[in-house]
Amino acid sequence: MIYLGSHVGMKAPDYFYGSIQESLSYGANACMIYTGAPSNTRRKPIEALKIDSAHQLMKENGWDPQRVIVHAPYLINLANTIKPETAQFGQEFLAKEMLRVQAFGATILVLHPGASLKADVEVAIQSVIDRLNVVLDADDSSVCIALETMAGKGSELGSTFEQLAQIRAGIHKQERIKICLDTCHIHDAGYDVRSFDSILEQFDAILGLDQLACMHINDSKNERGAHKDRHANIGKGYIGLDCLHAIVHHPKLKDITKILETPYIEGQPPYKEEIVALRKE
* CATH code: domain of residue 179: 3.20.20.150
As a whole number of angstroms, the distance between CA 94 and CA 155 comes to: 21
112 is in an annotated binding site: yes
pTM above 0.95, yes or no: yes
CA-wise closest residue to 136 among 146, 128, 144: 144
Domain extent at residue 228: 4-279
- Digit-by-digit pLDDT tens for the chain (281 residues) are 899 999 999 999 999 999 999 999 999 999 999 998 888 888 999 999 999 999 999 999 999 999 999 999 999 999 999 999 999 999 999 999 999 999 999 999 999 999 999 999 999 999 999 999 999 999 999 999 999 999 999 999 999 999 999 999 999 999 999 999 999 999 999 999 999 999 999 999 999 999 999 999 999 999 999 999 999 999 999 999 999 999 999 999 999 999 999 999 999 999 999 999 999 98
- Indicate the Cα dihedral angle 135, 130, 88, 9, nearest 10°: -50
For helices 241-248 and 271-279, angle between their N-to-C axes, nearest 10 degrees: 70
Sign of CA dihedral 262, 124, 95, 135: positive
Q: Which pLDDT does position 189 carry in this prediction? A: 98
Quote the crossing angle between the two packed helices 15-25 and 51-60, to the nearest 10°: 30
Number of structural domains in the chain: 1
pLDDT confidence of residue 126: 98
Output the pLDDT for position 40: 84
Query: 159: which DSSP letter?
Result: S
Which SS3 state, helix, strand or coil, does residue 31 take?
Answer: strand
Burial class (CB in 10 A: 0-12, 13-18, 19+), 266: exposed
How is residue 82 annotated by DSSP?
S
Residue 30: partners with Cβ closer than 8 Å, 6 or more residues away: 3, 4, 5, 23, 63, 67, 68, 69, 257, 258, 259
Cα 30 to Cα 1, 152, 203, 214, 216, distances in angstroms:
12, 28, 24, 11, 12
14 is in an annotated binding site: no
Length of the chain: 281
Q: Measure the CA–CA gap between 184 and 210, rounded to whole angstroms.
A: 21
Q: Is 261 annotated as a binding residue?
A: yes
122 is annotated as contributing to ligand binding: no
| DSSP assignment letter at 85 | H
Is 227 marked as a binding-site residue?
no
SS3 219: strand
* Cα angle value 10/111/122 (rounded, 5°): 160
pLDDT at 87: 97
Annotated ligand binding at 185? The verdict is yes
Q: Which pLDDT does position 41 carry in this prediction?
A: 84
On whether 148 is known to bind a ligand per the annotation, the reply is: yes
